[in-house]
Copies of this chain bind each other. A is one copy, B any other.
Amino acid sequence: MAASLRDAGLRRSRVRDIVVEEFFAAAQHMSVEALLDRVRKRAPETGLSTVYRTLKVLVEHGFAAERDFGGAHTLFEPADTPHHDHAVCVACGRVIEFEDDALEAIQARVASSLGFEVTAHRLELYGRCPSCRAHAAR
């Protein structure tokens, strides 16, 4: 991975390596702030802008993808994650990933009936996850 970045013409550095490592180590939707926290455990002086800049570079080179679930922060996730959609629990904030071939197939059919050439899509379900439903008074 670090090597691929190298191939892409990017320079490595102590801090950048750490940012990249921590980002892929978590392998979870992560906010910039959350990633900064992780990075600072190993390189306490790291600045917020470095994390933003590094993630931007990863996105531009196709190693990461931005996700925006309507919260205040943008979330990022590794781009090599197999395609999936998201179910967001409005009660606890948890994000569950899922994937369904039939869904993909129908989306493709709809797109072609619109004459649309689809390059990406996103589907999010909002609701309550099983454990929040169990805990709920109603």
A residues near B, CB below 8 A?
Answer: 66, 68, 70, 87, 89-90, 96, 98, 100, 102-103, 106-107, 110-111, 114-130, 133
Copies in the complex: 2
- Using A96-B116, A103-B103, A106-B102 as known contacts, say yes or no to A111 and B125 having CB atoms under 8 A apart: yes
| A126 contact from B66, B87, B118, Cβ within 8 A | B118
- Using A118-B127, A121-B126, A123-B122 as known contacts, say yes or no to A100 and B90 having CB atoms under 8 A apart: no
Task: Give the chain B neighbours of A128 by CB distance below 8 A.
Answer: 116-117, 119
Asked if A98 and B117 make an inter-chain contact with CB atoms under 8 angstroms apart, the answer reads no
A72: min CB distance to chain B, Å = 12
With CB as the reference atom, state the residue of chain B lying closest to A122. Answer: B124
Of all A-B residue pairs in the complex, the 6 with the closest CB atoms, nearest first, are A115-B130, A118-B127, A120-B126, A121-B125, A123-B123, A117-B128
With CB as the reference atom, state the residue of chain B lying closest to A74. Answer: B70
Task: Give the chain B neighbours of A110 by CB distance below 8 A.
Answer: 98, 100, 103, 125
| A107 contact from B117, B120, B123, B130, Cβ within 8 A | B123
| A111 contact from B102, B116, B127, Cβ within 8 A | B127
